[in-house]
Structure 1
Amino acid sequence: MTSGRDLMRWVWRGYLSRHKGKVLAAVFLMSLEGAMLGLLSWLIQPMFDRVFVAGDRGAVVWVSAAVAGVFLIRALSGFGHRVLMAVVGRNVAAHLQRDLVGHMLRLDSAFFHTHAPGLLIERIRGDTVVASTVWKTVFGAAGRDLVSLLSLLAVALSVDWLWTLIAVAGAPLLMAPMAWLQRQVRRTTSTARTAAADLATRLDETFHGIDTIKLAGIEAHDHARFSGALDRFVNAEIRTEAGQAAIPALIDVVAAIGFFGVLTYGGYEIIAGEKSVGQFMSFFTAIALVFEPLRRIGNVSGAWQVAAASLERLHAVSLERPTILSPDAPEPVPAGGDVVFEGVHFAYGSDPVLNGLTFTARAGETTAIVGPSGAGKSTVFALIARLIEPQAGRIAIGGTGVDRMELSALRGALSVVRQETALFDDSLRDNILLGRDVPQAKLEAALADAHVTEFAAALPQGLDSPAGTRGTNLSGGQRQRVAIARALLRDTPILLLDEATSALDAQSETQVQAALDRLARGRTTLVIAHRLATIRNADRILVMDRGRVIEEGRHDELLARGGAYARLYRLQFSDQDS
């Protein structure tokens, strides 16, 4: 667990110090507002003794004006510091969110495999907001409430030091239970934030899997899963709120003890004529008002523990570091060349995927990779792009190890079309260009080659039509054509095609395959294929099984051998014939 001091130092240096001027101005205005409580309680004595009891007409105007002035200053200073702290809080939240997303985008893909989307969304949205709003409470306690407390105690002491001692005699009783409550609040808050992340994950799964839920008829089951996550979140929130509420409740218990002692002892002194009514009312007002800032100061500890739980989670993410990095002195990516795997081993945890994989995909040729599910085909693409790292072996392009290349340059040399195309909730045009500035003629040629033009023209806004969340406004085949258009526009020396035409109908598949064949000329192309008919013309076919190549050759050669490829081919086409 990171200490509160370290968390505060991290936030101050990284975020709050940028707004130091506004924070100092807000603390000054808070202090001014807090001092007005002491002045108000001091004015109670002349109000009673000189105006109400003695009937001094000359004192009426200045006492009334002074009281009005107190409330006017409180109004202006209160408005000022609230606006300033709102500006600081919102900006700190925005900076935290911006930095957190930027940092996460630099982390390895493995980080996102072990952290659910709902958990990350909750950290970016929920934790940053909680962490940024606590400073209004913290600085309010340091400025307004502390000054209020000191000024009110000063007034009380000026009336009678013994009365003041009696009023606060129960305060030491708070120390042990408040320390215990603070630990409880931080613990339950951490549980609540985890439960909130689980809740967000459940909602994400529900809304993105709505068709599966409906087709399987599991609405009640999914609702029960959500209800269970919601119950855990609510229970954790209630425990946190209860812990926070207990802190000011303890202060009220001490206030009750103090008021009982003061009213009893002071009442006898007033009856005996040793103190005036104005003195008692001034003291009573000061002590009555003392417990309000004291209660807020007590709330600070609970609010800080809530924020500390969120800050700790944010800080933990900020400490995550990518393990796949560019070398200190990167070598240039060759404009062309063979893609070579030499004795590559890779495992996800304890599950081996590649076992000494060795092959060469020659420059300018199309190399197809086939094999049963789980053979390691998709892992090959992830390793080439350095989304993951092998545990052993070497991967090279044009004789240069991919681990010796600058990451962005390596990935900039690759065009990838996956079986499942990732689209964003932007226009069709934005999904194809992905932020690049492309000449209109080149864009139109890519759209035509990928057969996007024919369906885009039928959309209400053409290329400017929204693709929908995850491309839901498009069919599977349309989404794949968008991905192919992206690859055509990138015009890179290496193509990685993972079932690039799997979602197309027979006519579109023939047309798009022709476009891909044109694109592949003179480039190093690797194709993962399940439908063997699409790779008949490949220059080399690699048959993988259990993480290694067991056969390689051209289509006709492999069929003639009667081995694993021939069996796959017969099985596939016998299924189609039946």
Structure 2
Amino acid sequence: MREGAFCQIGRMHADRRLLGLLPPHRFRIALALLCAALAAAGMGAYAFLAGPAARALIQGGSLDLGPALEGLLPEGLVEVFSRSILGAIPMLLVAAAALRALASAGFNILMSHAVVEAAGELRVRIFDRLLHGDPAFFSARASGELVSRIGSDIATVEQSGQQVVVTLTRDVAQVVALLVVCASIDLRLLAAAIAVAAATFVPTRRFADALRRIGKEQLAALGEISRQAEQMLRNHRIILAYGSEAYRSRRFEEANEKLLGIMRRSLLWRAAYTPLMEVMGVIGLAAAIAWAGRSVLSGALPPESVLSFAAAALMLYQPLKAIGNLGQQLAHLRAAADRCFEVLDAPDAIGDRPGAVPLPAPREVRLEDVTVRYGEKEALRGVSLCFRMGETVALVGESGAGKSTIAHLLLRFVDPTEGRVTFDGRDIREGTLASLRSHVGYVPQETVLFAGDARINLCCGAEIPMERLREAARAANAEPVIEALGGYEADLAEGGRNLSGGERQRVGVARALARDARILVLDEPTSALDAENDALLQEAFARALGGDRIGVLITHRLRSVQGVDRVVVLEAGRVVEEGTPAELIARGGRFARMLALESRSDENPAAA
């Protein structure tokens, strides 16, 4: 009982959010609804004319339109219809057909455009949420699975949404028009037709709930297939190098077989659903027609009324069938919408506080008794540090010691759980994110490059003069790399696949320098480079650091820290040593032991 209640609440919530996408298109939707009403009126005219036309053709004479319809038509047309049945029927049929055709075309164009544009806006909102959402939330999910929300899930929302909207507007309008025809003939026939329509909805809810669950499973399975394919393409060389092609192929086949199993279940439910709706509808309509036939034999109804009712009943079949299938389409729509809204409901990334102001470039950055927790795990505990302009500070320690967390604090990828980070004594949470990050140039361990030319990658969305780009590239020893590609307008492959690791890192350093940022954070920038590229980057760092910059070098290669002003040794999220390289070596503590171990490893790699 509780599960059913929660399902009902979930359906209502998803439906409200889907409807919330439509108000910006209200004018177009209103015109589409008008077109749907006109198209339904044309269909109703077909049914209404069936009985009187048949009677007039069999018995001869004029066409009796009835007082209601005669009151709506010009007197000249009424006179023409009264004189000539052969002229009246073709004219009315052509008029009804033209009205229905034009109105249907207008409805399809207007409503389809509204749904497609609403789905497009949802796609943009999901992309923006992925762009601005909490990195921790999204990093815990496979990128291929998240990309499927923008791709296949939105496509399902668009396709199923169009079908649902068409059914709820055009098909419902047709049913209403045909029921009005039935009412104009005999209210008892109308009651019979309504009973038939109501009967088609009895099993719909159970089928819809089952199809919605299956639809969510199907979309999740599609996301897993996207993830498997993305992993294969991204790590293709590793797969070949380790001979794991058969394993990866087997994993993909398992994921594909799971998807096929879900689709088989979906097909079984749908195969049972549609015929059941059809049989129920036909049984009900047949019973109503049989009852009407007895009424004719008893003299309670004229034959032409039964013919009109039969025509309306037969025309009800198609829209009622579509309405009967509405549960399937709603299930697919809600399943895809749930996955889209899951992304939109993801936790917010750190944002500007109310009243945030631009931060000036700092001369001093401090961490004051900072603790950072991820759940129950402490990444930093009671850390206090100072970074001054013109000074380069190296953060060293084993993996997981908290070095990169300090970099993330400076960029406000994360905020302190306790304590604060300040620029010249001011808590950085009081400033805008845009101003804060404009003062930080960040070079991660593995530089990420985007598809596009070198200039786009160096600017990274900012407007930077060409001369400054060239200066940054020269300072980072990246200009020879760019010139070898064909210049700043030459395209880089996605991810920088046409560059070596060292060349990518030099382009990444140039990107950080092009921002002319006061703080330069280098997070393990040379950890995977050969000696030549390491030397080129060390030379670039020597030019970039110092002066009017605050340099933060995160590294586990201790030979890289000989020229820095201070070394901070972190262990298990705490500062255990701090001082100049010479002071720490003389002290013989943790740093000295790490340096000695690294030196022995360099002298005897085989032993290491």
Matched, 1:182 2:188: no
Matched, 1:84 2:110: yes
Matched, 1:25 2:31: yes
Deviation at 1:386, TM superposition (A): 1.4
Amino acid at match of 1:151: A
Structure 1 residues 212, 378: CA separation in 2 closer, same or farther (over 3 Å shift)? same
Instruction: Return 519-528 or 278-287, whichever deviates more.
Output: 278-287
Match of 2:491, SS state, is: coil
Match of 1:458, SS state, is: helix
Residue-by-residue CA offset, 1:209-263 (whole Å, 9 max, x unaligned): 2222222222222222223333333433444455455554333122232244345
Counterpart of 1:569 in structure 2 is 595
Matched, 1:386 2:392: no
Contact 1:110 1:388 in 2 (8 A): no
Provide the C-alpha distance between the structure 1 equivalents of 2:457 and 2:139, rounded to a whole number of angstroms. Answer: 24
Within 5 Å, give how 1:200-211 maps onto structure 2.
Answer: 200-211=226-237
Counterpart of 2:447 in structure 1 is 421
- C-alpha RMSD of the superposition: 2.9
Counterpart of 2:76 in structure 1 is none
Deviation at 1:139, TM superposition (A): 3.9
Amino acid at match of 1:478: E
Instruction: Return 251-260 or 76-85, whichever deviates more.
Output: 251-260
Contact 2:520 2:545 in 1 (8 A): yes
Deviation at 1:387, TM superposition (A): 0.6
The match for 1:193 among 216, 219, 244 is 219
Structure 1 residues 440, 147: CA separation in 2 closer, same or farther (over 3 Å shift)? closer
Counterpart of 2:79 in structure 1 is none
Provide the C-alpha distance between the structure 2 equivalents of 1:71 and 1:432, rounded to a whole number of angstroms. Answer: 62
Deviation at 1:9, TM superposition (A): 4.0
Deviation at 1:28, TM superposition (A): 1.0
Provide the C-alpha distance between the structure 1 equivalents of 2:534 and 2:147, rounded to a whole number of angstroms. Answer: 38
Match of 1:556, SS state, is: helix
Contact 1:167 1:255 in 2 (8 A): no
Amino acid at match of 1:484: V
Amino acid at match of 2:324: G
Deviation at 1:412, TM superposition (A): 1.3
Contact 1:541 1:552 in 2 (8 A): yes
Amino acid at match of 2:536: Q
* Structure 2 spans left out of the alignment, 5+ residues: 1-5, 63-82
Contact 1:23 1:84 in 2 (8 A): yes
Provide the C-alpha distance between the structure 2 equivalents of 1:68 and 1:95, rounded to a whole number of angstroms. Answer: 40
Amino acid at match of 1:200: S
The match for 1:283 among 309, 312, 335 is 309
Counterpart of 1:467 in structure 2 is 492
The match for 1:64 among 80, 90, 115 is 90
Match of 1:464, SS state, is: coil
Residue-by-residue CA offset, 1:14-33 (whole Å, 9 max, x unaligned): x3111111101111111211
Counterpart of 1:352 in structure 2 is 378
Provide the C-alpha distance between the structure 1 equivalents of 2:90 and 2:313, rounded to a whole number of angstroms. Answer: 22
Provide the C-alpha distance between the structure 1 equivalents of 2:179 and 2:23, rounded to a whole number of angstroms. Answer: 32
Counterpart of 2:80 in structure 1 is none
Matched, 1:401 2:427: yes
Counterpart of 2:518 in structure 1 is 493
Deviation at 1:52, TM superposition (A): 5.2
Counterpart of 2:503 in structure 1 is 478
Match of 2:522, SS state, is: strand
Match of 1:361, SS state, is: strand
Counterpart of 1:111 in structure 2 is 137
The match for 1:521 among 546, 557, 562 is 546
Structure 1 residues 567, 171: CA separation in 2 closer, same or farther (over 3 Å shift)? same
Provide the C-alpha distance between the structure 2 equivalents of 1:330 and 1:170, rounded to a whole number of angstroms. Answer: 63
The match for 1:37 among 39, 43, 46 is 43
Provide the C-alpha distance between the structure 1 equivalents of 2:168 and 2:566, rounded to a whole number of angstroms. Answer: 73
Matched, 1:219 2:249: no
Residue-by-residue CA offset, 1:440-498 (whole Å, 9 max, x unaligned): 22222222222222122222x43223222222222211111110111111111111111
TM-score by length of structure 1 reads 0.90
* Structure 1 spans left out of the alignment, 5+ residues: none
Counterpart of 1:511 in structure 2 is 536
Match of 2:484, SS state, is: coil
Contact 2:135 2:349 in 1 (8 A): no
Contact 2:179 2:193 in 1 (8 A): no
Matched, 1:361 2:367: no
Contact 1:33 1:77 in 2 (8 A): yes
Deviation at 1:525, TM superposition (A): 0.7
Provide the C-alpha distance between the structure 1 equivalents of 2:522 and 2:170, rounded to a whole number of angstroms. Answer: 64
Q: Identity, % of aligned pairs?
A: 31
Amino acid at match of 2:393: T
Provide the C-alpha distance between the structure 2 equivalents of 1:155 and 1:385, rounded to a whole number of angstroms. Answer: 69
Amino acid at match of 2:205: A
Deviation at 1:384, TM superposition (A): 1.8
Provide the C-alpha distance between the structure 2 equivalents of 1:263 and 1:81, rounded to a whole number of angstroms. Answer: 32
Provide the C-alpha distance between the structure 2 equivalents of 1:506 and 1:106, rounded to a whole number of angstroms. Answer: 38
Provide the C-alpha distance between the structure 2 equivalents of 1:137 and 1:456, rounded to a whole number of angstroms. Answer: 51
Contact 1:48 1:277 in 2 (8 A): no
Counterpart of 1:453 in structure 2 is 479
Provide the C-alpha distance between the structure 2 equivalents of 1:80 and 1:175, rounded to a whole number of angstroms. Answer: 29
Provide the C-alpha distance between the structure 1 equivalents of 2:87 and 2:590, rounded to a whole number of angstroms. Answer: 105
Counterpart of 1:430 in structure 2 is 456
Paired residue total: 576
Match of 2:393, SS state, is: strand
Provide the C-alpha distance between the structure 2 equivalents of 1:142 and 1:331, rounded to a whole number of angstroms. Answer: 50
Match of 1:372, SS state, is: coil
Contact 2:502 2:534 in 1 (8 A): no
Amino acid at match of 1:21: F
Provide the C-alpha distance between the structure 2 equivalents of 1:144 and 1:551, rounded to a whole number of angstroms. Answer: 75
Deviation at 1:77, TM superposition (A): 1.6
Structure 1 residues 216, 10: CA separation in 2 closer, same or farther (over 3 Å shift)? same
